[in-house]
Amino acid sequence: MRSASFGLLFCLVFSGEADALGAGTAPDASGLLDPITMGKMIDLVGHDVVQLMVSNQNRKYESLQEDEIKLLDEQWVQERARTDQPLVAATLSNPLSAYLTRIQAESRGAILEIIVMDRYGLNVGQSQITSDYWQGDEAKFQKTFLVGTDAVFVDEAEWNSEYGIWHTQLNFT
């Protein structure tokens, strides 16, 4: 059972091929996600590795203050530009990230990114490196976790000109 008090946010970025309109007109974001796929993705949060990793990180950071969150986020951003990356490496090599990377690979390009966050919006695991460590200041967190248990937010479709695809985010608690 998913619970906002548990502190889990699951973010997936899905892709869809451009139709005859191409980049000109954004499709309805929900059209990029069929109900079966959405159900499968939501079921993923029940996996033991997801539950354990989020629970452990929630305990690890249970008294974390906002300034400490910002320091972790700054550390992540700085590490991306360096070869020494202890926080990035620890996150990307943990069992949850390995699981999410496998899910993304098995999607054959339909899933572009998966991020699992804790109750603060900090990354617990992800399928690839993110630009920042803290998602708590973004809509994916604010329109789900702050709303409550079983919240679902499908973001507007965005055009990716490099790949010629539309993509959207499925976010849920």
**Which carries the bigger pLDDT value, residue 114 or residue 168?**
114
**Whole-number pLDDT of residue 8:** 53
Q: What is the pTM of this model?
A: 0.86
Mean pLDDT for 103-126 is 91
**Residues of the chain by 3-state class (helix, strand, coil), percent to 5:** 40, 20, 40
Q: How confident is the model at residue 16 (pLDDT cuts 50, 70, 90)?
A: low
**Token duo for residue 122:** 């900090």
pLDDT digits (tens, 9 = 90+) for 39-73: 888 888 889 999 999 999 999 999 999 999 999 99
pLDDT surpasses 70 at 147: yes
pLDDT surpasses 70 at 2: no
DSSP H helical ranges for the chain: 35-43, 48-60, 66-79, 86-92, 95-106, 139-142
Determine phi and psi for 37, rounding to 5 degrees. -65, -45
pLDDT surpasses 60 at 17: no
Query: Domain segments of the chain: what residues?
Result: 9-172
**Whole-number pLDDT of residue 6:** 43
Burial (CB < 10 A; 0-12, 13-18, 19+), residue 164, is exposed
**Which carries the bigger pLDDT value, residue 27 or residue 84?**
84
**Token duo for residue 147:** 């709303």
Beta-sheet pairing, 111-117 with 9-17: antiparallel
Question: Above pLDDT 90, what percent of the chain?
Answer: 53
pLDDT surpasses 70 at 143: yes
Coil, helix or strand at residue 8: coil
The mean pLDDT value of the chain amounts to 85
pLDDT surpasses 90 at 38: no
Residues facing 89 on adjacent strands: none
